[in-house]
Amino acid sequence: MSIGSHQQDTVDMAAPPLAPGGTDGIARPKRGFFRQFPAAVAAMRPRQWSKNGLVLLALVFAHRLTDLSAVGRVLMAFFAFSLAASAVYIVNDIADREKDRVHPRKRLRPLASGRLSIPFAVVAALLCLAGAAALTYVLAVQRLPSLADPDPFATWGGAPMLFVATLAGYVAMNLVYSAWLKHQVLWDVFIIAAGFVLRAMAGAFAVPVKISPWFYLCTTFLALFLALGKRRAELVRLNTAAGEHRRNLREYTLQLLDQLLAVVVTCTLISYSLYTFLADGVSHSLMATIPFVVFGLFRYMYLIYVKGDGDSPDEVLWRDKQILGTVALCVIVILGLLYVVPALRA
């Protein structure tokens, strides 16, 4: 669960682990079944649904934002991924509840603090999976409304089946991540990056429309950048207790993470620049957005290295006004270049 102030971000690492049922080390009886609903919603982490915004990008860059049927399919895909992600978050929190209690921020999560019982958490996770499955059924099986254009993925089994495979692969990959791969050096950050790429692919399957490989390459490098920044912030924030919270943090060093960050931020800038110049079906006027991307990445690096932030990228987006403003301006410019300018020329 997110922390509302910087004072809470700097919880004393010497504080004792939370006992089940309270946030102050005092054991308390579990709350009633219906009183746990707010805690269950918090465990779903709806604020992190912003990560699933990648599902919407294919719709925007494919010039299909005015296609209402495509918008409807992509919105269903967005909520299907959001519910699936919430189920994964809950399962991960159940598995990590003991280790989360020694983390200065994660100790306040519903399961780690004892505000949410394990049985209720399991029910919430199953309901999220059921909701994701229902949306996927409507999107992939019934395919409402019917597609007006030929399926560009017909030779690969069709966009509906590819969307099902993408969502199922996302859930399976994250369950394996929660059980094992998050403790493996480098594998952890590559699995996080793969999750973002699968979101971008799902958006393309939902429209459906083919997207340039450059788009997926940009997504990969950006996700690696955010994941490595998260690991660095955790290493700095937890200090000597980092290994107790996550075993693989013992294998990372600040020097290694700094070098990897330098590599991926360079690759991100180059791949996005080449995407705006070389990608088929993309307006080359998008090169005007390169300065926004450069500033956004540099600002995020400033927050990582100077402010010690970055362990919650989704919160940084909403908390830092300069990054939020940069993203908003970039989106406005993209929409203007792709939709407003062509309409004026028509």
Residue 23 counted as domain residue: no
Evaluate if residue 50 carries a pLDDT over 90. Answer: no
Mean pLDDT of 196-204: 92
Q: How many domains does one find in the chain?
A: 2
CATH number for 59 = 1.10.357.140
Tell me whether residue 27 is in a domain: no
Same domain, 302 and 204: no
Res 17 pLDDT > 70: no
Is the same domain home to 177 and 278?
A: no
pLDDT of residue 25 exceeding 90: no
Distance from C-alpha of 114 to C-alpha of 213, rounded to nearest angstrom: 45
Mention every residue, 6+ apart, whose C-beta is less than 8 A from residue 169.
198
Q: Poorest-confidence range of 20-29, 264-273, 276-285? A: 20-29
CB atoms within 10 A of CB 74: 25
Q: Which domain holds residue 63?
A: 34-210
Same domain, 192 and 258: no
Q: How far apart are CA 113 and CA 110, in angstroms?
A: 5
Of 58, 327, 1, which Cα lies nearest the Cα of 199? 58
* Residue 269: pLDDT over 70: yes
- Tell me the three state secondary structure of residue 262: helix
Do residues 118 and 261 share a domain?
Answer: no
For residues 134 and 122, give the distance between their C-alpha atoms in angstroms, rounded to a whole number: 18
Q: Provide mean pLDDT across the span 94-100.
A: 83
Tell me how far apart the 2 most distant CA atoms of the chain are, in Å: 68
Instruction: Determine how many CB atoms are found less than 10 A away from the CB of residue 273.
Output: 18
**157-191 tens-digit pLDDT:** 888 899 999 999 999 999 898 888 888 889 989 99
Of 228, 225, 261, 246, residue with least CA distance to 182: 246
- Return the structure tokens found at 321: 């006004």
- Point out the domain boundary residue: 210, 238, 258: 210
Residue 111 lies in a domain: yes
First to last CA, the chain: 48
167 & 239 share domain: no
Work out the percent of the chain whose per-residue pLDDT is above 90. 43
Residue 8 domain flag = no
Average pLDDT over residues 324-333: 94
- Model confidence at 112, pLDDT cuts 50, 70, 90, reads confident
